Amino acid sequence: MDIAALVSDYNRDGFVSGVPLLDRKGAAHHRKALESAEEQLGESLHYRFKAHTVLTSPYQLAIRPDVLDIVEAMIGPDILLYNVTYIIKEPHSPSHVSWHQDLTYWGLSHDDQVTMWLALSVADEASGCMRMVPGSHLAGRMDHDISQHDKDNVLLQSQTVHNVDENGAVLCPLQPGEASFHHGWTLHASMPNKSNDRRIGLNVQYLATHVRQTKHDLDTAMLVRGRDEYRHFEPDIPASADLTPEGIARQKMLEERYKQIAGQA
């Protein structure tokens, strides 16, 4: 893997896509781990924040050395794991993601941040893969409208950038085991899943250690490479086993706290 070339494209476009990380067998293994957990819980794990504090599979994927090598080349050697969540679109569902920038409502002090989106099933045009606007990260923060009325919008506040020139947007299809990496100011969106399979992605967010939360001092993260000389975040505890009572309670508490942070304009 030519990491230097990936970073060059990332710096130019604000994203890279189609990065091979797992073979199909590996992707199927981690999909099975997710769906076994859903079966045990009796509910979908779609958009459940801090999944790495309650399940071992997403934690293992988030700290893979090859992933952290890429992240290090993008944001530096001292890396915090901020959040891990599954983003799932059920077959033939109207769920979609409006045009937005990730960093808009997170309250972070700096934009030394990158998100990995790892496909555990096919993510293509039919299933509603992501679309990105190349170079949009260079424009900084854009105005977003907030609405709670679009129940099919996956985003917490249905935050939307209007009047995006979609002629310049690029589809980012992924096969199971492939990933994309995108900057927090990169404009991106996705359409509904019109396919016969679930569209399953693992969304992982990384920060440089000097980044801090500006809304309050209760936010959490986890050092996964290098040193944290700043200690701006309370430490997350990774899952040592799946769905322990302690892990379930902790994840629920952290999710509510995360929603309070991200849900403040």
Predicted local confidence at residue 121, as pLDDT: 98
pLDDT of residue 216: 85
In the block, tokens 């896509």 appear at 17
Total domain count for the chain? 1
Residue 121's contacts (CB-CB under 8 Å, 6 or more residues apart) are 27, 31, 127, 176, 197, 198, 199, 200
CA separation for the pair 203, 119 (Å, rounded)? 9
Q: What is the CATH number of the domain that holds 190?
A: 2.60.120.620
What does the pLDDT read at residue 165? 77
Query: Which amino acid, residue 42?
Result: G
Residues 6+ apart with CB under 8 A from 188: 15, 97, 99, 100, 130, 131, 132, 133, 182
pLDDT at 110: 96
Which amino acid, residue 255?
Answer: E
Predicted local confidence at residue 259, as pLDDT? 77
What pLDDT shows up at residue 256?
Answer: 87
Token duo for residue 201: 């992605």
Q: How far apart are CA 239 and CA 215, in angstroms?
A: 27
10-residue block means of pLDDT along the chain (265 residues)? 95 97 98 98 94 98 98 98 96 84 89 97 95 90 67 66 81 98 93 95 98 92 98 96 95 87 58
Alpha carbons 216 and 148: distance in angstroms, whole number: 24
pLDDT at position 265 is 43
Range of the domain at 251: 3-262
pLDDT at 35: 98
